Structure 1
Amino acid sequence: MLMLNSLIMQDIRIYIAEQRGETSIGTHLVRSTLNYGSFAAPHREAIGRLQQVNSWQVALQETLELPTNQDTVSFLIPLVGDLLVTMDGQTYTVPVGTILVHNFENNTAIHIKASSEVGEPAIFQEFVLNSAINTPTLPHIVNLPLSSSFEKNKMYPVGTDLATDFQFYFGAFAGKHDFELQIGQDQKSAFAFALDGNFEVEERILYPSDGLYLPDSKNLDIECLSATGLLVVLCF
């Protein structure tokens, strides 16, 4: 048993923000936590279902053509500026404070522009996972649990109306608080990502845009170490 625990500990990985790949795509910029495009590095391979973790900067008055892969689910979170997202001939406004969830049964490109009202490049966070979902759904634009109606310092499931084979959690923290996240029986691994603020997750410190992979997890001890913080946890 001691040997098994040691092997599990060795599989825990921290992804430091400063070590992300940085690639210019035309006038746009992408910072990749995992291997993406021309960025390829050891120990940056996809993590099970989790294929991509990217931070995108979209130039003003320019369109980013974002490729997608078949049988995947994408989560797009605007961080700076609203997004105009066009797919299948329809354009959707994705404001800051929401998340766009969409699954793809074909390799379909998404076209993304920064809202003209921003006046600066838009920044959004992207997570892409492989999924066994075969029935396509319309894009879901879901409000994140940021309003006063949601209690702070908790992790909330997002997009639970989709029949997904993983779970996406989002938490907004105010002040130095801790929270224990119970992971469902169908999920065995977790990936935590600090969108903003500093966190301690399972006794490991995460700064903004740091990621943490934890295999064989049953629950996560989470503590916000800064005045405010935003945390994403993917369980799969």
Structure 2
Amino acid sequence: MLSKTKAMIYLADQRGCSQEDWFRSFHIFNAGKYFHESRRPFGNLKAFNDTTLKSEHTLVRYAREDTVIMLLPMVGALNVRIDAGEYILADVGEAFTAAVPKDSVVEIANPYEDELINFLEIWYTVPSGNIAASGKVLFDLDNRKDILVPLALDAQLSSGASPCIGKFNGRGEGIFTPADSNSGVFVFVLEGAFEVANRLLHARDGLALWEVEEVDFEALSNNAIILFVEVKLT
């Protein structure tokens, strides 16, 4: 029963924050100099950052273990490369997944001359040697409203994560069912408001759920956007 599910809410205004004059990153979980006992990773979901980057600047991240990263542009496009390889452009409506071996360097660049970009960084750890191919998934939320659209590549599925995203009209309903009933589910509201598993979430709020076989939700505003991620707990 959903009423018995274990859960933790991460309110938008209680996220950690790293900031310089050229970027700002809000952290659901501990990252950089931000640490709070209640913000430890959720299963193999190690980082969930909401990042804004100034024009013509590059953000450098380091993989401290074998990792799968998903980048989800929300405002503007981004360039990304791994270990000084070729840059790959990812735009709004594209989810980029990269398999990142331990000790790799990830560079995320803003290609514009005078525009900010905003994107999500979602990092999962994976078992050593269990790294699959990288690539992009294209999706169109405006022409596929009121359903969840899968964003998974083999790299994410091998890490035990099957993310989905959807844009819903007010009172639009749905159910997210994890592939493995032993998995956890992480929910993030990008726009609008939702009731998820009997809990109210607003824009940029997160919710971790475990011991759950399915998650029901309802949009409380028009053009509300929600993201679900299945998470390995062991």
Could you state the TM-score of these two structures normalised by the residue count of structure 1? 0.88
Q: Does the 8 Å CA contact 2:78/2:89 hold for their aligned counterparts?
A: yes
Q: 1:223 and 2:218 equivalent?
A: yes
Residue aligning to 1:153:
146
> Any conservation in 1 of the 2:135–2:153 contact (CA below 8 Å)?
no
- SS of 2:179's equivalent in the other structure is coil
| 1:108 to 2:101 alignment | no
- The match for 1:76 is 71
| 1:58-102 deviation line (CA, Å, top 9, x unaligned) | 111111112223211111101111001122320111011111111
Alignment check: 8 A CA contact 2:132 2:154 kept: no
Q: 1:133 to 1:172 in 2, by over 3 A?
A: farther
Are the equivalent residues in 2 in contact too, given 1:175–1:227 (CA < 8 A)?
A: yes
CA contact 2:187–2:227 (8 Å) conserved in 1: yes
SS in 2 for 1:125: strand
3-state secondary structure, aligned to 1:18: helix
1:133 Cα deviation after fit: 6.4
| Counterpart residue identity of residue 201, structure 1 | V
Alignment partner of 1:47 is 2:51: no
Gaps of 5+ in 1: none
Deviations 1:100-124 (A, max 9, x none): 111222221111221226x321111
Give the aligned partner of residue 58 of structure 2.
63
Q: CA deviation at 1:176?
A: 2.4
Q: Residue 137 of structure 1: CA displacement?
A: 3.9
SS at match of 2:13: helix
Letter in 1 for 2:31: Y
User: Shift of residue 174 of structure 1?
Assistant: 2.8
Among 87, 91, 97, which residue is 1:95 paired with? 91
**Deviation at 1:161?**
3.6
Question: 2:209 aligned with 1:214, yes or no?
Answer: yes
Q: 2:188 aligns with which of 170, 189, 193?
A: 193
CA distance in 1, matches of 2:111, 2:203: 25
CA distance in 2, matches of 1:217, 1:207: 21
Q: Name the residue aligned to 1:127.
A: 122
Kindly provide the CA deviation profile for residues 32-51 of structure 1, in whole angstroms up to 9, marking residues without a partner as x: 11111100013111111111
User: Alignment partner for residue 32 of structure 1, among 24, 27, 35?
Assistant: 27
Distance in 1, matches of 2:47 and 2:229, equals: 12
Secondary structure of the residue that 1:76 maps to in structure 2? strand
Quote how far apart the aligned CAs of 1:186 are.
5.2
Q: Does the CA contact (< 8 Å) of 1:145 and 1:171 recur in 2?
A: no
Tell me, what secondary structure is at the counterpart of 2:37?
Answer: coil
TM-score by length of 2: 0.89
RMSD of aligned alpha carbons: 2.1
| Percent of paired sites with the same residue | 26
| SS of equivalent to 2:39 | coil
| Other structure's SS at 1:43 match | helix
Structure 2, unmatched stretches of 5+, are none
Give the C-alpha shift of residue 187 in structure 1.
4.2
Offset from partner CA, 1:153-179 (integer Å, 9 cap, x none): 122322244442222111121332011
Residue 144 of structure 1 contacts residue 170 of structure 1 at CA under 8 Å; is this kept in 2? no
